[in-house]
Amino acid sequence: MKIKTIKKDDKSLNLELVDMDVSLANAIRRTILSEVPTLAVEEVRFIENTSSLYDEIIAHRIGLIPIKADIELFNFRDECSCKGEGCGNCIVTLTLDKKGPGTVYSNDIRADSKTKLVEGIPIVKLGNGQKLSLEADAILGTGKIHAKWQPAVASYKYYPKIEITEKCDSCGECVEVCPKNILEISSEKLKVKKTIPECIVCSQCMEVCELDAIKVEDDNRRLIFKVESIGALPPHEIFKKSCDILESKAKALSKML
């Protein structure tokens, strides 16, 4: 099994997986969605709220704001040495105090040095004389408990395989119908661009070709795995953490057997 990076940045990670079973790729995907822990607000205590929104709506919005932090520094609340009472090792306390007029954004929420909220997310608009003041507790959790702890969106698909035969007369009709701009005419020949992973195997190029000169199908030996982070954790860290979780489960099962 081989893993090759196709694209990597702060928000997304595209990998090419060679000779990996689909069941393993799906196990990694499900682990990312449900078992990789992140920080999220669980409890909000309102001191004053004279905005146009109810407390419950604002609390729900704050709970969905991604929080950047090193998750290795925190314990799950029910597994912490404080026995669930709450301490600095399992709870991060956030504060917000703002007066209108103006819009309250996620960067108006104050956190400690170990955590940082993703900036630029609007929470509520305050009018003249309106005020929002609150405290919130963020704890570790996983996506199987609530979607607010889900660190990313993960998906996979077969790597597309495109074959062009000598029958091709370079008419260019397949180039025009391709929705992802995968094909091009270069030096009077039909060629595939380097963006072949973007192909969605829609078969429109095959349908328009009267000479049957092009064939598009899935390569069942190669997969494209995509991780799109919500901002709480880097995508490569999410992928690695999911693999570590699967490995620990496999070792635990091995001991049981």
What CATH code is carried by the domain that includes residue 20? 3.30.1360.10
Domain tally for the chain?
Answer: 2
- Spatial distance between the Cα atoms of 213 and 172, rounded to a whole number of angstroms: 12
What CATH code is carried by the domain that includes residue 137? 2.170.120.12
For residue 30, what pLDDT band results from cuts at 50, 70 and 90? very high
Instruction: Report residue 127 as tokens.
Output: 């009018």
Residue 50: predicted pLDDT:
97
- Spatial distance between the Cα atoms of 139 and 133, rounded to a whole number of angstroms: 20
Same domain (yes/no): 70, 132:
yes
Token pair 């170990």 is at which residue? 114
Same domain (yes/no): 51, 112:
yes
Among 236, 238, 57, 61, which residue's Cα sits nearest to residue 142?
A: 238
Rounded to two decimals, the pTM is 0.87
pLDDT tens digits, one per residue of 65-100: 999 999 999 999 999 988 878 888 899 999 999 999
Please indicate, yes or no, if residue 61 is contained in any of the structural domains: yes
Q: What percent of the chain has pLDDT over 90?
A: 74
Residue 57: predicted pLDDT:
97
Q: What share of the chain is helix, strand, coil (3-state, %, to 5)?
A: 25, 40, 35
pLDDT tens digits, one per residue of 165-220: 888 888 888 989 999 988 988 888 898 887 788 889 999 999 998 888 899 999 88
Summarize the confidence of residues 7-12 as an average pLDDT: 93
Strands (E), the chain: 2-8, 12-18, 38-49, 67-69, 92-99, 102-105, 115-117, 122-126, 131-141, 152-164, 183-186, 189-192, 214-229
